[in-house]
A and B are shown apart, each in its own frame.
Chain A
C-alpha cells in the first residue's frame, strides 16, 4: 500500500522527547501519520511504544516537542480535549455496567436522545460481531469478546483517531489470529486513522499499512511491512523482524566483501575498504537450486543439522566460508527430495546479491 505523499499528514509529531526523571523514554521522535492509515509501533518491551501512544493521547504529556492533530496543536491538551478512542490490553471495561452501558458510555454526555443512543449501540455491537450480547456484564464474556466490546466503546463517538495498546496480547493464539483480521477489516471499512502498539512482529506485519520500528526510545525505521522486511535499514530491525543471518566479513576495494576465503558481491557503497561489516541474508533467500557454473556468490558449505518445520526444512549451514558462524537456510520439501540433502553432506549455495544487506560491525 503506497501513501500519497502529497496528502497532508493527519497527525504530526515533531521532536518529541519524554523523560521520567533522568531516564529518557522517548528521544527526539518525529513522525507523520496520514488520514485513514493503520500504523503499528513495533519494538521490544520497554522501548517506549506505550509512552509515545500515551503522549499522543495526552495521558502522559511529553517533556519536549509538539503534536498536531488535524492541523490543531494539541501538545499540552488534556485527554478530554483531544479527539481519540482508546483500547487497552486489559480491556478496561467497567465491570459493573452492562455491555450496552459500556458501549454507550461516551454517548450519554453528548445530549443525544436515548433512542438514538440505543440504536447506535446496537449498530456498534453488530459491527464488532456481538449483537444480542448487550445486556450481559463483561465478566460473562470471553477475553476476545470483551476486547471487541472495548473496541466498540472506543469507536462509539466516531473519534478521528483510534489508539490500541497491545489489544491482542492478553488473548490466546487462536482468538488473536481471528481478531487481527477483524480489526484490520473494520479499520478499512471505517477508514479511521489507527495507531496500534505491539511487540509482536507478525501482528504488525499482517495488520499495518506502515510500521514504526522503535528501540530504546528512538525510531529505527518507518516503512511498509514489505520494506521493513526486505530492506531493514539497521541491524536491529533486521534482527528484530523475521530471522536474519549475520555473517562477519571485511569490505574490499571494489564494493565486494570477503567472507573467510570467499568473495561476496554486494552493494557496499557506504563502506570503505577494510571496514568490518556483517553480511545479512534471510534463510529463505539462500539459494541451493539451479546454480550455474559462472554464478557469483556461490559458496560450498556443509549441512550441520536439519529441522523439519512443516512446509519446509530449516538447515543449519557451516564450514567453508561460513566457518563456525551457523547460518540458517530454508529448503523446500521439493529441493530436499531432488537433491540428497542430508546432515554431513556438502552443498553449494548461492547468496543472491539483491537480497543481501550489509551492516557495520562496529560497536556490535
Chain B
C-alpha cells in the first residue's frame, strides 16, 4: 500500500485509466452474460463428464481405473481401431471425390454446373441415417443390387464407409470449393507465360494453392466420420465403432462411467484435429491477398467432358441414395408388394413417436434457429465491435470456438451428467424441448459464430467510431446499420441452425424424453424396431422440410436483400 503510494509519487505520470462509457458497460455486461451461458452450457457439462470418467459408480474418485479397464477390454479396444480405419478410408474417398468435383465446378467449363451444385447439397438436408437406410434397400439382404457386392455384406465396414462418405461429402466440398475459388488467376497467367505444361501447373500451382483447404477438409471429414453415430447404428451390423459403443454403454447397459470414458476417447482425436485445423486455417488466411484476381476457366472439350461424366456419376450416387429412400417410403411392402401408397407415412400407428415427433422437430429447429441466431449474432457483434476489454474478448472467442471440437454424442452425454443432477439449478430443463434447443445451439455454435464474425469483419471498423463521435448509443447503430448490412449472414446462420437442428441425431439421442421425441430420433427408433420403410418415410419428411426451408431461405434472402439493401444494387 505505502509502496504503491510512493511509486505514484515518484513517477511523474500515472498511466491513463480510460473511463468507460455507459455503452462500454452495457456491451461488456452482455458479452460476459453470453460468455457465462457458454460456460454453463458447454464448459461445465464437459467438465462434469470428464470428472465422471475418473469416478466409480458410487461417484468416488478412482483415477484412471476406468480407462485401464477400457483399454484392457479387447472388444472395446477393437472399436477404437474400427473407428479409426473407417474414418481414414472415408476421409481418403471423400477428399478425392470432393476435390475432383470441386475442381470441375470451379476450374472447368463443364455444363450444368448449377445442377451439380444443387445435387451436392442434398445430403445436408437429410439426417445421416438416411444414407444407411437407402443402402439397406440397395444392397441389404433383400436389396435390389445385392449381387454387386459379390457376396460381401453391406452391414459392416462397407456400408458404414459408403453411408458416411455420402453425408459428409457436401461438408468437404464446401471447404474445397472455397479453397479453389480464392486462388489467384495471376499465378496461372504467369505459369502460362512461362509455357508450363498443364500437368506441371496442376502440381506446382493448383495443389499447393489449396493444400490448406484440403487439409482442413480432411480434418473435418475425419472428425465427422470418427464421431458419427447415425450411420453405424443403421448399417453397422455387428461392426462396433466408438460412437455406437457410447450409445450401448449408456442406453443398453446404463454404465454411465464407461460411457464417459469412451466419450473421452472419442474427444481426443476430435480435439487434435481441431487444433491442427486452427493452425492450418491461420496459414490459409495469410495466403489471401486482397488484390487476388479471380480465375476464369477457359473451355477445353476433353477435360470438360470427362469432368461431366465424373460429376454425373457422383450426382447419380447422391440422387440414388435419396431416390431409393423415397421409393422405399412409398412402397407398400418391400419386396413383396411394390405398389405405391402413403401407408408408411402413417406414423401414428407405429412406435417411435408418430407425427408428434415431426412437429417436435419442427418446433425445436425453429426455436434453435431464432434463439440461436439472436444470441450468436449479438455475441459475435459484442466480441468484434466492443472497445477495449481485450482479455474478455479473447476468452469469449475461445469459448465460441470450443464447441467445434466436441462431437455431438459427447456433448449430449455431458448434458445428461450435468442437467440430470437435481441439485443443478438448471435441472428443470431436463426432459423438455428446452434442453434439445440448448444442446443444438451449443453444438452448432462455432460455425454460426464464425459466419457472423466474417460478415462483421467486412464492415468498416470506423462505423462504431463515427457513431460514438455522433453520440449515438451503440444499440442504435447495431439495429439501424449492423443488422441490416449483415442480413444475408444472419439468414445464413439461421438456416444453418435450422437444418442442423432438424437433422441431428447424435446431439439429441440421449436427451429426448417420451414427450419430446424428434423426427430424426424416430427414424432411428423405427429402424431399430425393424420398421425400415416408415423410417425412410420419416427421413424423407425431414428432407422435404429442409429442402422447403432452404428454398424459402433463398427466396427470403433475395427479397430481403432487394428490400433492405437497395444500396447494394447501385
Taking Cβ atoms with an 8 Å cutoff, the residues of A that contact B are 15, 17, 57-59, 61-66, 75-82, 84-86, 88, 90, 92, 94-97, 105-106, 108-110, 137-140, 153-154, 156-157, 159
In the complex, 7 of the A-B residue pairs with CB atoms within 8 angstroms, ordered by the A residue number, are A57-B465, A62-B16, A80-B469, A88-B466, A92-B465, A96-B565, A153-B466
Find chain B residues with CB under 8 A from A106 CB: 469-472
Find chain B residues with CB under 8 A from A61 CB: 16, 18
Contact, CB under 8 Å: A90 / B462: yes
Nearest 4 pairs of A and B residues by beta carbon:
A106-B470, A78-B21, A137-B567, A79-B468
Find chain B residues with CB under 8 A from A90 CB: 460, 462
Measured CB to CB, the nearest residue on chain A to B472 is A109
Say which residue of A64, A85, A110 sits within 8 Å of B15 (CB atoms): A64
Measured CB to CB, the nearest residue on chain A to B564 is A96
Say which residue of B13, B462, B566 sits within 8 Å of A15 (CB atoms): B13
Find chain B residues with CB under 8 A from A85 CB: 469-470
B157-165, B367-375, B478-486, B548-556 - the one binding chain A: B478-486
Contact, CB under 8 Å: B485 / A96: yes
Find chain A residues with CB under 8 A from B16 CB: 61-66, 75-76
* Known contacts A59-B465, A65-B16, A137-B570, A153 near B485 by CB under 8 Å: no
Confirm or deny: B531 has a beta carbon within 8 angstroms of a beta carbon on chain A. no
Contact, CB under 8 Å: B481 / A94: yes
Given A78-B21, A95-B485, A106-B472, output 6 extra A-B contacts at Cβ < 8 Å: A88-B462, A88-B466, A96-B564, A106-B469, A110-B471, A153-B470
* Known contacts A15-B13, A92-B460, A96-B485, A84 near B18 by CB under 8 Å: no
Find chain A residues with CB under 8 A from B469 CB: 57, 79-80, 82, 84-86, 106, 154, 159
Confirm or deny: B463 has a beta carbon within 8 angstroms of a beta carbon on chain A. yes
> What separation, in Å, do the CA atoms of A84 and B23 have in the docked complex?
18
How many whole Å from B5's CB to the nearest CB in chain A? Answer: 19
Contact, CB under 8 Å: B481 / A97: yes
What 1/0 mask marks residues of chain B from 19 to 32 whose CB sits below 8 Å from any chain A CB?
Answer: 11101100000000
Find chain A residues with CB under 8 A from B19 CB: 76-78, 81
How many whole Å from B466's CB to the nearest CB in chain A? Answer: 5
Find chain A residues with CB under 8 A from B460 CB: 88, 90, 92
> What separation, in Å, do the CA atoms of A88 and B387 have in the docked complex?
18
Confirm or deny: B57 has a beta carbon within 8 angstroms of a beta carbon on chain A. no
Find chain B residues with CB under 8 A from A109 CB: 471-473, 476
Confirm or deny: B298 has a beta carbon within 8 angstroms of a beta carbon on chain A. no
Measured CB to CB, the nearest residue on chain B to A156 is B470
Find chain B residues with CB under 8 A from A140 CB: 567, 570
Contact, CB under 8 Å: B465 / A79: yes
Tell me which residues from 197 to 236 in chain B have a Cβ below 8 Å from any Cβ of chain A: none
How many whole Å from B363's CB to the nearest CB in chain A? Answer: 33
Contact, CB under 8 Å: A76 / B570: no
* Known contacts A92-B460, A106-B472, A86 near B481 by CB under 8 Å: no
Contact, CB under 8 Å: A157 / B567: no
Taking Cβ atoms with an 8 Å cutoff, the residues of B that contact A are 13-21, 23-24, 387, 460, 462-463, 465-473, 476, 480-481, 484-485, 564-568, 570
Find chain A residues with CB under 8 A from B567 CB: 95-96, 137-140
Q: Total contacts A to B, CB within 8 angstroms?
A: 107
Find chain A residues with CB under 8 A from B21 CB: 78-81
Find chain B residues with CB under 8 A from A88 CB: 460, 462, 465-466
Contact, CB under 8 Å: B466 / A139: no
Contact, CB under 8 Å: B466 / A86: yes
How many whole Å from B468's CB to the nearest CB in chain A? Answer: 4
Measured CB to CB, the nearest residue on chain A to B22 is A80
Find chain A residues with CB under 8 A from B18 CB: 61, 76, 78
> What separation, in Å, do the CA atoms of A13 and B18 have in the docked complex?
16
Measured CB to CB, the nearest residue on chain B to A81 is B21
Contact, CB under 8 Å: A97 / B480: yes
Find chain B residues with CB under 8 A from A58 CB: 468
How many whole Å from B48's CB to the nearest CB in chain A? Answer: 38
Measured CB to CB, the nearest residue on chain B to A19 is B15
How many whole Å from B21's CB to the nearest CB in chain A? Answer: 4
Contact, CB under 8 Å: B471 / A86: no
> What separation, in Å, do the CA atoms of A139 and B468 have in the docked complex?
23
Find chain A residues with CB under 8 A from B462 CB: 88, 90, 92
Find chain A residues with CB under 8 A from B20 CB: 78
Measured CB to CB, the nearest residue on chain B to A74 is B19
How many whole Å from B19's CB to the nearest CB in chain A? Answer: 5
Measured CB to CB, the nearest residue on chain A to B487 is A96
> What separation, in Å, do the CA atoms of A80 and B469 have in the docked complex?
6
Measured CB to CB, the nearest residue on chain A to B19 is A76
Find chain B residues with CB under 8 A from A80 CB: 21, 23, 468-469, 471
Find chain A residues with CB under 8 A from B465 CB: 57, 59, 79, 86, 88, 92
Find chain B residues with CB under 8 A from A95 CB: 485, 567-568
- Most interface-central of A61, A76, A90, A95 (chain B CB within 10 A): A95
> What separation, in Å, do the CA atoms of A86 and B460 have in the docked complex?
14
Measured CB to CB, the nearest residue on chain B to A96 is B484
> What separation, in Å, do the CA atoms of A95 and B485 have in the docked complex?
8
How many whole Å from A350's CB to the nearest CB in chain B? Answer: 50
Contact, CB under 8 Å: B566 / A137: yes
Find chain A residues with CB under 8 A from B570 CB: 137, 139-140
Say which residue of A62, A63, A97, A105 sits within 8 Å of B470 (CB atoms): A105
Contact, CB under 8 Å: A92 / B565: no
Measured CB to CB, the nearest residue on chain A to B467 is A105
How many whole Å from A121's CB to the nearest CB in chain B? Answer: 13
Contact, CB under 8 Å: B568 / A139: yes
> What separation, in Å, do the CA atoms of A154 and B469 have in the docked complex?
8
How many whole Å from B560's CB to the nearest CB in chain A? Answer: 12
How many whole Å from A162's CB to the nearest CB in chain B? Answer: 10
Find chain A residues with CB under 8 A from B467 CB: 105
Find chain A residues with CB under 8 A from B23 CB: 78, 80
Measured CB to CB, the nearest residue on chain B to A17 is B13
- Most interface-central of A88, A92, A110 (chain B CB within 10 A): A92
> What separation, in Å, do the CA atoms of A154 and B387 have in the docked complex?
21
How many whole Å from A14's CB to the nearest CB in chain B? Answer: 9
Measured CB to CB, the nearest residue on chain A to B387 is A78
How many whole Å from B60's CB to the nearest CB in chain A? Answer: 48
Measured CB to CB, the nearest residue on chain B to A141 is B570
> What separation, in Å, do the CA atoms of A154 and B20 have in the docked complex?
23
How many whole Å from A12's CB to the nearest CB in chain B? Answer: 15
* Known contacts A61-B16, A65-B16, A92 near B471 by CB under 8 Å: no
Find chain A residues with CB under 8 A from B24 CB: 78
How many whole Å from A189's CB to the nearest CB in chain B? Answer: 21
Measured CB to CB, the nearest residue on chain A to B20 is A78
- Most interface-central of B16, B460, B470, B564 (chain A CB within 10 A): B470
Find chain B residues with CB under 8 A from A81 CB: 19, 21
Contact, CB under 8 Å: B472 / A157: no
Contact, CB under 8 Å: A96 / B468: no
Measured CB to CB, the nearest residue on chain A to B569 is A139
Contact, CB under 8 Å: A92 / B485: no
